[in-house]
Structure 1
Amino acid sequence: MTPSPASSAAASDLWQHYDSNPARRVMNRIHWDWYQRTGPGAELLGDLAGLTAVELGAGAGHQAAHIATFLEPARLICLDSSPAQHANSRTLYGDIPGLEPVHTDAAAFLNRGPGTIDVAYSLFGALDFSEPRALLPALATALRPGGRLVFSTLGHYKGGGAPATECRAADIPTRRADGSPGTMRRWVLDTSVWEKLLAGHGFELSDTDTIRDPGPAGAPPMTTLVFRARRRGDDRTRRRRAATAASKAK
C-alpha cells in the first residue's frame, strides 16, 4: 500500500519527540531567551490590538497562547510544519479566540498572502530551521510595508561553538519519529550575517539585543540574539515620502 502524504509526513516528523506530552499552560509572561527566564517579554511585539500576527514555528503553541490572551490580536496564525506539534497546538489552545494553528511550510504560506500580515515573530522557531534566504523574502512579501518582525535565535551553538560567519546551516542530531537517529539543519549565524540578510531582503533593522544567561544548575551558559526589524516600504512609498520632505524643506 502506498502511504498517504499525511502518513508519510508523520513518519518523517523530526519534532515528534520534542515536548511530546505537553500540558496546557497559558503563561503570565514569555521570554525570548534560551532558558525562558530573563530579558524582555511580549512587549517587544508592540501593540497587537486589531492586527494580524503570525508565529513562525509555533510548536505546541505555549507562547502563542500567551500572546493571543494578553495582547489580543485580531488573528494570530500559528505556523508549524510538524504534524505532531501542530496537533498539540490545536488540542491545547485551539479554543482561544483569534488563535489559528496551521500545519504548513512557513515560506509557502507567507508567499500565498502578500501584504496580509502586520507582525511576525519567532522564538527559536522557523528562522532557526529554515533557509533564511527563502524565508526572509517570503516574510517581506507577506508583511505590510512597515510591518514588524521580531525573532530570537542562538548566539552560538549549544555546545559553545562560535556562530557561522556566512549563511550556512549545520546538521544537528535529533530523533526520527520511529526513534532512530537523524539530523536536522539549523542556522546559527553571527549577528553581522543576520544584519546583512535582513537588509538584503527588504528589512530595516530597528534593534538587536544580546541576552547572556549563565544557565541553571548543571546547564551550560547560553547567549540569545533578539532582532527587531521593519519591512521597508516599496519604492513608490519612499519616493512619495522623499518628495513630501523636500517640499516641506522649501
Structure 2
Amino acid sequence: MGATPGLELHQAEAVAFLGQDREGFDSVYSVYGAAWFTDPARLLPAVRERLRPGGRLVFSQRPAVEGCYGCQASYIPRGDDEDPLVVKRWDYEADGWERLLRGYGFTGVDARVLAAPPGNRTIGTLIVQARA
C-alpha cells in the first residue's frame, strides 16, 4: 500500500481523540462513522474547536427515515443466548444538520441527499459539509 504525503489516519473514539489533540486539523471526514454514531452535542463542538480556520468537516450517512429524527436505536442480533446489541445513531434531515452545525459555529454549511446510483440501491446518501 502506497503512502500519501501529509495524510495521517487514526482509529480512536472520536471525542476523546479530539480532546487530546493540540495541533488541530485542516479537515475531518466521517464516512458512515463518528458523525452518525456520536451525539452531535458532544462531537460538533469538539470538531469545531480542533478545526483550523477555514478547515472543513465533511460527513456522509444514510438519510433519516421520515419522522425518525434525533437519537435512534438499532438492535443488532447476537447469539441465541445474548441480548441484542443496542447501537445509537443520530438522524436528521439535511436542514436539521444545517441548523445544528450553524448553532455550533460552523459556516458555509451545505447538506443534501445524493440519489442512489442506478441499480439495486434505492436509498441515497446524505452528504454534509461545513467550514470552521
Shorter-normalised TM range? 0.7 to 0.9
Q: Is the 8 A contact 2:98 2:110 kept in 1?
A: no
Out of 204, 207, 226, the residue aligned to residue 110 of structure 2 is: 207
Could you tell me which residue of structure 1 aligns to residue 60 of structure 2? 152
Tell me the distance in 2 between the aligned counterparts of 1:198 and 1:75. Answer: 25
Bigger share in helix: 1
Query: TM-score, structure 1 length as denominator?
Result: 0.46
Q: How does 1:116-131 map to 2 (within 5 A)?
A: 116-131=24-39
The unaligned stretches of length 5 or more in structure 1 are 1-25, 27-67, 80-103, 232-250
Larger Rg: 1
The unaligned stretches of length 5 or more in structure 2 are none
Match status 1:143 vs 2:51: yes
Q: Is the 8 A contact 1:149 1:228 kept in 2?
A: yes
Task: Give SS of 1:78's match.
Answer: coil
Tell me the distance in 2 between the aligned counterparts of 1:227 and 1:154. Answer: 11
Bigger share in strand: 2
Task: Give SS of 1:222's match.
Answer: coil
Shift of 1:143: 1.1
Q: Is the 8 A contact 1:122 1:151 kept in 2?
A: yes
Matched to 1:78, the amino acid is: H
Tell me the distance in 2 between the aligned counterparts of 1:73 and 1:206. Answer: 28
Could you tell me which residue of structure 2 aligns to residue 76 of structure 1? 8
Greater RCO structure (CA 8 Å; 6+ sep): 2
Tell me the distance in 2 between the aligned counterparts of 1:224 and 1:125. Answer: 13
Identity of aligned residues (%): 34
Q: How does 1:40-59 map to 2 (within 5 A)?
A: none
Q: Is the 8 A contact 1:124 1:153 kept in 2?
A: yes
Match status 1:113 vs 2:21: yes
Shift of 1:223: 2.4
Shift of 1:105: 1.6
Shift of 1:205: 2.7
Shift of 1:177: 8.6
What is the root-mean-square deviation of aligned Cα atoms in Å? 2.6
CA offsets, 1:6-60, max 9 Å, x none?
Answer: xxxxxxxxxxxxxxxxxxxx7xxxxxxxxxxxxxxxxxxxxxxxxxxxxxxxxxx
Alignment coverage as a number of residue pairs: 131
Matched to 2:98, the amino acid is: E
